[in-house]
Structure 1
Amino acid sequence: MGKLTTHVLDAAHGCPGAGITLLLYRLEGDRRHLLKELQTNADGRCDQPLVDGEEAREGVYELHFRIGDYFRGRGVELPEPAFLDTVVLRVGLSAERHFHVPLLVSPYSYSTYRGS
């Protein structure tokens, strides 16, 4: 069975991205279905896989990371509107593999890759 996990690192402060709100959607055609709203833990990870087992269906998913709220909460002054308020990652998943999606963030940039 497949699963989807993530890990957020705050590249601006050199620490895990703790307390970041994450919305997980599954896309079906032009429709977006909210599956979960989660928050990263002290290590910048979610306590459980985003999808796992039977819920890990092959298809397209979106992860919405609310990094503007995170950086404001750390006292970072951001312009209004923030340059990067929500980072949206659209990923295609196979039901038989583990997909790990690390996200490195700063107020003005982000980077991601398919991790292991």
Structure 2
Amino acid sequence: MSTVTTHVLDTAQGRPAEGVPVQLQRTTDSSVIGKSTTDADGRVSDFGSGQVEPGVYQLRFDVAAYARASGQEFFFPEVTVTFTITDERHYHVPLLLSPFAYSTYRGS
């Protein structure tokens, strides 16, 4: 079993994106594994689900909620990152946000 974490950075503001609602779900049956909100450091270290089994998952970031709270406008109201868990390692999936773009990668 693996664990999943994330870290959201607001690259336009040059700081962590605090208060982004994030949902972890399995794609095979759309079941929600856990929900959380990024902390003051822009991190979610626990989705309340503990460990997850191998499979295909999605992290859904509610960028619109963060935009409203931070007084910004973003072109993408939601970012969904789909990834595959294949083994028992830790999976860290960061998100870098700006008003007109985003990027993500497999972190450690």
Normalised to the residue count of structure 1, the TM-score between the two structures is 0.84
**Helix, strand or coil for the counterpart of 1:37?**
strand
Identical positions, percent: 42
Of the three residues 52, 63, 68, the one matched with 2:64 is 68
1:115 pairs with 2:107: yes
Gaps of 5+ in 1: none
C-alpha deviation, 1:6, in angstroms = 0.6
C-alpha deviation, 1:50, in angstroms = 6.4
Counterpart-to-counterpart distance in 2, 1:114 and 1:87: 16
Structure 2 counterpart of 1:36:
34
Gaps of 5+ in 2: none
Q: How many residues align?
A: 108
Counterpart-to-counterpart distance in 2, 1:110 and 1:24: 18
Counterpart-to-counterpart distance in 2, 1:86 and 1:49: 18
* Structure whose alpha-carbon radius of gyration is higher: 1
Counterpart-to-counterpart distance in 2, 1:85 and 1:13: 17
C-alpha deviation, 1:71, in angstroms = 1.6
Task: Report matched runs for 1:3-18 at 5 Å.
Answer: 3-18=3-18
Counterpart-to-counterpart distance in 1, 2:56 and 2:50: 15
Tell me if structure 1 keeps the 8 A contact 2:24–2:47.
Answer: no
